[in-house]
Amino acid sequence: MKVYQRYLAREVVIAVLLVLLAFLALFAFFDLLGEVGSLGQGGYRIQHAFVYVLLRLSGRAYELMPLAILIGTLYALANLSRHSEITVLRASGLSTGRLLVCLCQIAAAFAVLTFLIGEYVAPPAEHAASQLRLKERGRTMQELRSVRNLRSGLWVKDERNFINIRLLLSDRSLRGIRIFQFDEHGKLRSVTEAGAGEFTAADGWRLTDVAHTVLQKDSAKVEKLAELSWRSALNPEMLAVLMLPPDRMSLRHLSAYTRHLSDNRQRTNRYDIAFWKKIVYPLAGLVMVALALPFSTGHHRASGIGLQIFVGVMIGVLFHTLNGLSSNLGAIHGWPPLLSAAAPSALFLLAAGLMIWWVERR
């Protein structure tokens, strides 16, 4: 690597990491304040709140990485420009295209890091944080119901069965299970109610305190059972995935749950969009460095750097807002998943290209 590339990479990487650490500290403080109201519920104590916030930092880092790349690159380039170092590089024959390629190489490294965090670090950490919070607060599916506004519990479709789960405990066992079985004509054939359910890899779900009702033409037959084996495509891992929003799932879990929904003829648009976002989102760092490049021209005073950082924050907030808005609108209106996931990045990349063209024309 050439000397100027190493120097530029060092300045940008240090600036991005410092901005990311500052944002993580700020969001961790706000998350901790949000947990203060839950202290004292069940066994939830301040140490549990600290661990919960720390476990969520990887997810925060994944969300904030494009914003940190934008602001860090803006600061680094503006600082180099203020000391006329960009001017010296330009006079030495460094073109805008070569400078952009150098910045994209740096952003590509951050893109790989973002993908690894979002795929292998954040999902298990978020799940562990959720399980810790539910366990120590003594809450179970009631908290999930409050989030999704499902007072009757969790509803899942498995082939011709509609399954209602009242409580999902932190140890992944179930309480209050109802299984409604329909035939190929859509007629209800049986209802199975169980007080509890535990999963074993060999036998599937073991239901206890079971009442099995079979509906016949003119009558219903009720059978009481102490224990019943129930095989289903659902497993504790799939149910645990439902505790997380789609954008916090890994690609593997998204793919598995999307196949389950598709096999049961349910809408998968929301999860398809989340799947493509997991692929496209790390590439947003490339767009951010392209947006920062036009600000590197000219000389900048210290006050000008502050203004550029403010502009960077506004651009980053706008990108984050449009990213979420595009996903929600795509899920509502049935837009193609790839379009919904990539539209904000494509729009900002177009804006970056126009800004670079305008600066070069001047």
**Among positive and negative, which fits the CA dihedral 6, 314, 123, 340?**
negative
The mean pLDDT of 275-303, rounded to a whole number, is: 82
pTM of the model: 0.80
- Confidence category of residue 145, pLDDT binned at 50, 70, 90: very low
CA dihedral 248, 254, 257, 262 (to 10 degrees): 130
63 Cβ neighbours under 8 A, 6+ residues apart: 320
Residue scoring higher pLDDT (297 or 56): 56
Q: Is the pLDDT of residue 242 over 80?
A: no
- Confidence category of residue 170, pLDDT binned at 50, 70, 90: low
| pLDDT number for residue 25 | 97
| pLDDT number for residue 96 | 83
| pLDDT number for residue 300 | 54
**Among positive and negative, which fits the CA dihedral 170, 27, 18, 12?**
positive
CA neighbours closer than 13 Å in the CB half-sphere of residue 270: 11
Alpha-carbon distances of 275 from 94, 194, 292, 324, rounded to whole Å: 39, 35, 28, 14
| pLDDT number for residue 238 | 75
Mind listing the pLDDT tens digit for each residue in 298-357? 555 555 667 777 877 888 889 989 998 999 999 888 899 999 999 999 999 999 999 888
Structural tokens at position 225: 């059972």
Distance between CA atoms of residues 320 and 66, nearest Å: 9
Q: Name the burial class of residue 333, with classes exposed (0-12), middle (13-18) and buried (19+) by CB atoms within 10 angstroms of its CB.
A: exposed
Identify the weakest region by mean pLDDT among 89-98, 205-214, 348-357: 89-98
Count CB-CB contacts under 10 A for residue 261: 18
Q: Which of 157, 118, 113 is nearest to 276 (CA)?
A: 118
CA neighbours closer than 13 Å in the CB half-sphere of residue 90: 14
| pLDDT number for residue 296 | 67
- Confidence category of residue 90, pLDDT binned at 50, 70, 90: confident
| pLDDT number for residue 133 | 79
